[in-house]
Amino acid sequence: MSEKVTITQAILVEGKYDKIKLSSLADALILTTNGFQIYKHPEERALLRRIAENRGLILLTDSDRAGFQLRGYIAGFIPKKHLYHAYIPDVFGKEKRKAAPSKEGKLGVEGVPPEILLQALQAALPQQAGDPLQSRRFATKQTLYRNGLLGKPNAAALRKSLLHKLNLPQRLSTNQLADILNAAVSQEDFQAALQAVRNESAE
C-alpha cells in the first residue's frame, strides 16, 4: 500500500507485531496491551481511559478466545461512548514469524491481509453526522429473534453461517453482532446474506 490512511482515534492492539503491521497502514496513535499485562497495571488502564475520553479508542484484537477475553476486559473500564470495536474475521493459517499456528489455528491481527485490517478499522469508525448509517440502525435482539438468529431452533448454526457470509468472527455475541451490523452492514446487505445462508442450508 502506497499511502497510509489517517485515523484521528487512537488504536489499541494486543502486541508489538500488531502495532508494526498497523503502523505500515495507518497514520494514527497505536497502543498495545502487551497481551494480558494490562490486567496488572492500573496506571495504564487510567491512561487508556484518558486517551479514549479525549480522542476515542478503536479496539482491535485477535478473533480467538484470548482476544475476545481481552476485548471484554477493556470494555469493562472504557466508557462505551468512547470505545469503537474493530473485528477481524476468522482467517485460518500461520503467521510467517511463527513456527506453528496458534492454538485455534487463526491468524491474528499481524497475519491478516492489509485490506482486511483497513476494512475492519473503517467499519469501526464512528459515523459522521448526516451519514446514512446514522439513520439505519436496524439491528436489535428483536431483529435477530425475528430472523431466527436468536432463541429459536438452529439459531446458533444460522448465526454462525451468517457471520461467515459477512466475513465476521464466529465469537461475536448477539449484542456484539447487533452493534457491528448497525455500524458496518446495511439492512439490505444483511437480508441478502441471510437469504443466501437460508438458501444454502435448504439445498
**How do the pLDDT tens digits run along the chain, 203 residues long?**
558 899 999 999 999 999 999 999 999 999 999 999 999 999 999 989 999 998 899 999 999 999 999 999 999 999 988 999 999 988 888 888 887 778 888 888 999 999 999 989 988 886 654 444 444 568 888 999 999 999 988 999 999 999 989 888 888 888 888 877 876 677 888 999 999 999 988 77
| CB proximity list for 32: less than 8 A, separation 6 or greater | 12, 13, 14, 15, 16, 18, 19
Which cell numbers hold the place of 173?
Answer: 455475541
Which cell numbers hold the place of 15?
Answer: 502486541
Task: Report d(CA 185, CA 163) in Å as an integer.
Answer: 12
Task: Tell how strand 10-13 and strand 26-27 pair up.
Answer: unpaired
- Show me where the domains of the chain are located: 5-124, 132-202
| CA 1 from centre of chain | 22
Tell me the CATH class for 5-124: alpha beta
Q: Which helix (H) or strand (E) holds 85?
A: strand 83-86
DSSP code of residue 4: P
pLDDT value at residue 127: 60
